Amino acid sequence: MKINMGLLALGASGSIGGMTASRNRYGFYLRARTPPVNPNTSRQMQARAIFAAVANGWSASATQAQRDAWQVYADAIVWKGALGLDCKLTGFAHFLRSGTSITHCQGAAVLDAPVILTLPETDPTFACVVDEAGQELSITFDNSLPWANETGGYMLVSMSSPKGVGREFIGGPFRKAGNIAGVTGTPPTSPAVLDCPFPVAELQKVDCIASIIRADGRVSQPFQHTSSVTA
């Protein structure tokens, strides 16, 4: 459960007991909590297997010195939480974010903690054009950024399920669309094309979310672009 008790708890978000707190464009509200459905799809099972393997690597593969170094990194990083508030993650959490993101990109595992104690920069030029005819995403990005010019750097992209034209707030669920790999000396060309992970139709709306992954294992804050599907 995530709760910000400021402003008379109007920022509450999450569940406790039988109630869920949230907010929409009209303000704060409470609703009855509904148990989530667990369909155990192949995508869910793959994501859980990746998470479990990376979590196991924390104790089975990383040394105590490496775990201590990840905590040093974590202590230096200010993270923007789900409620938009600054917080600190643990070294284990950063290790998991790094390992799962790199695995989704089919990259090599990084056990050593980053020595650069900052998050990677996001890409303010990031944009997504969604094409119904090809069922494709055209991803615009700045290929002069450091991640694009190093082997082992990636932009990891996910797309939301499409929503109707009248929707103002898109949201999830999200599926991985793919990644764009950086290459030392030969950065990838923008725009890059990825397959849509959900079927889309003209005028529907989607959110595309991306993260930057650096070769040293650092992962940026996620950033997004909302797009209407073109014919």
The string of pLDDT tens digits covering residues 120-162 is 999 999 999 999 999 999 999 999 999 999 999 999 999 999 9
Percent share of the chain, pLDDT over 70: 83
Q: Which residues contact 42 (CB under 8 A, 6 or more apart)?
A: none
Q: Where are the alpha helices (DSSP H) in 24-81?
A: 42-60, 64-76
Residue type, 126: F
Residue 41 has pLDDT above 90, yes or no: no
CATH class of the domain defined by 127-230: mainly beta
Token pair for 21: 């707190």
> What distance in Å separates the CA atoms of residue 36 and residue 21, rounded to the nearest whole number?
15
Residue type, 153: G
> What distance in Å separates the CA atoms of residue 68 and residue 74, rounded to the nearest whole number?
10
Cross-strand bridge partners of residue 152: none
Q: Reduced to 3 states, what is the DSSP secondary structure of residue 46?
A: helix
Mean pLDDT value of segment 72-78: 95
The structural domains of the chain, with segments of one domain joined by +, span 1-36, 42-104, 127-230
Rounded to two decimals, what is the model's pTM? 0.80
Q: Which residues contact 55 (CB under 8 A, 6 or more apart)?
A: 96
Residue 81 has pLDDT above 90, yes or no: no
Window from 35-49, 105-119, 175-189 with minimum mean pLDDT: 35-49
Please report the pLDDT score of residue 8 as a whole number. 46
Mean pLDDT of the chain: 87
Most confident of 36-50, 141-155, 171-185: 141-155
